[in-house]
Structure 1
Amino acid sequence: MPSPYLCPNCKTNKTRFNIIEQKPKSVKMNPQTGEVLEEFGEDNLGPFHLPYRGPERKVQCGVCGLVEDEQAFIKRAEYMNNQKKSF
């Protein structure tokens, strides 16, 4: 369900955002060259490779440029809506 956003940094932007979809790719790299040696699927990560547990999306404020988890923008909007109701 869509939720309103409000930038937690500039506290004015309610309309202009960049939504960043995160698509993690699990890899094993050569420590000297940075070359990708092997790519892993979600079902075969190996014993020493933890799966990605971060957010599916991040949001960037289109005004000030702050990049944060989507929840930070949602919570700021909820907080401001609650503040308006209490007056």
Structure 2
Amino acid sequence: MSGPYLCPGCKTNRTRFNVIEQIPKGIKMDPQSGEIVEEYSNDNLDMFHIPYQGSKYRVQCAACGLIENEETFIARANSQKNPFLS
């Protein structure tokens, strides 16, 4: 967390958030049954399996429930002057 947040959805919440840590798990599934037939780590991916490249964290506004990348909340806070700091 590298700065203040402001929810881009409700535009009022600056204090209550849930930080969601994303832990990707590579799997191969049986197309008919949906069963997991193989699990991958980043060290043993096969040539057709692209490693996860998304964000490590997501943020949820604890007031309205919006879930976005952390950068979205930080950008919204930076674009709005905080009335409490004036």
Runs of 5+ unmatched residues, structure 1? none
Look up the match of 1:52: 52
- Root mean square deviation, CA, Å: 1.5
Look up the match of 1:14: 14
The letter of the residue matching 2:13 is N
Aligned residues: 83
Q: Counterparts of 1:18 and 1:34 in 2: how far apart (Å)?
A: 31
Normalised to the residue count of structure 2, the TM-score between the two structures is: 0.90
Spell out, residue by residue over 1:20-40, the C-alpha distance to the aligned partner (whole angstroms, 9 max, x if none).
000000000111111111001
Q: Counterparts of 2:27 and 2:54 in 1: how far apart (Å)?
A: 16
Q: Counterparts of 1:18 and 1:2 in 2: how far apart (Å)?
A: 15
Q: Counterparts of 1:34 and 1:19 in 2: how far apart (Å)?
A: 30
Spell out, residue by residue over 1:10-58, the C-alpha distance to the aligned partner (whole angstroms, 9 max, x if none).
1000001010000000000111111111001101111100000000000
Look up the match of 2:80: 80
After TM superposition, what 4+ stretches of structure 1 lie above 2 angstroms from structure 2? none
Runs of 5+ unmatched residues, structure 2? none
Q: Counterparts of 1:7 and 1:33 in 2: how far apart (Å)?
A: 40
**Deviation for aligned residue 1:2:** 3.2
